[in-house]
Amino acid sequence: MKVAVFSTKVYDRHFLSAANSLTQHELVFFEPRLNRDTAILATGFTTVCVFVHDQVDAPTLELLASWGTRLVVLRCAGFNNVDLQAAADLGITVVRVPAYSPYGVAEHAVGLILSLNRKIHRAYNRVRESNFSLDGLLGFNLHERTVGIVGTGKIGLILGKIMKGFGCNLLAYDVYHNPELEALGGKYVELPELFANSDIISLHCPLIPETHHLINAEAIKQIKSGVMLINTSRGALIDTQAVIEGLKSGKIGYLGVDVYEQESELFFEDLSGEIIQDDIFQRLTTFPNVLITGHQAFFTVEALYNIAETTVANIADLEQGRPCANEIRAQPSV
């Protein structure tokens, strides 16, 4: 197949080209993101390959369909940027990579926890300036602390296993109870109880209408004062303005995020020479107890290899007329 790969970085070229060495699809790499203005680049391509911030809405899909595209391949798990109903109406198949880096994401969440707790990022900068004072670097033992895990799929379960290794107590919330987490001693509770009793809350749930702004002003009223809040899942799980107020009041003692609800205008790009216009994001960066990384939790060798292998396999399945287990369809309206 002839594949237009959008939002291409150097690492995308490397891993996708390696995975494609046996199948020999024609991969053409484009640096711009896909949207209704750049869709013309895909003229004549049967397949487009996109990432988390590409805009695959109805107008873009209509343009792609008019120029011959019949397959949209996501090289990520999330698909909230795709209008699945429009794709179905236009006869465009959509596939994704459902899981690729549960260990990488869980381990990154733990890295945020450790860095925030022991102020490693602040200590690093001090030592570089020959400042060896310990004032302001006081942390706490993780042993016997309570970690609340919201979403206990693959990533949440792995986080639970790691934190259990530190000697933490585990509380959990999920619509579906994971018996493996319960076997670790994890206790499923409702969100208000998890909020009230957790020293650390880590979010690992998908972004759906029910979880949008899960952490909002009302939730922050319920949380234990001084809580550490970690989000390596989806940015819009958190109402950022409400969290800023929580940080200002001291209700939230620490914040570690790898995602941000308006990140599509920021992340994956070098903006070091520009003035960032997002005042809310800029306010977040002023807090000494906030640690932000730019959507890199997934970014491991193993993850990029898995993403590339699954992406190429998805394309091969559709090319050869085989059912693809990773196809996603619009849910029928109720």
**Catalytic residue list:** 234, 263, 295
| Token pair of 1 as six digits | 């197949």
Q: State phi, psi for 31 to the nearest 5 degrees.
A: -75, -35
Report the distance separating Cα 116 and Cα 120, nearest Å.
7
Compute, in degrees rounded to 10, the torsion defined by CA atoms 56, 34, 262, 285: 160
Q: What angle do CA 145, 148, 150 make, to 5 degrees?
A: 165
**E strands, the chain, in order:** 2-5, 26-29, 47-50, 71-74, 93-95, 146-150, 169-173, 187-188, 200-203, 227-231, 252-257, 290-292
Q: Which residue has the tokens 């085989």?
A: 322
81 contacts 55 by C-beta, under 8 angstroms: yes
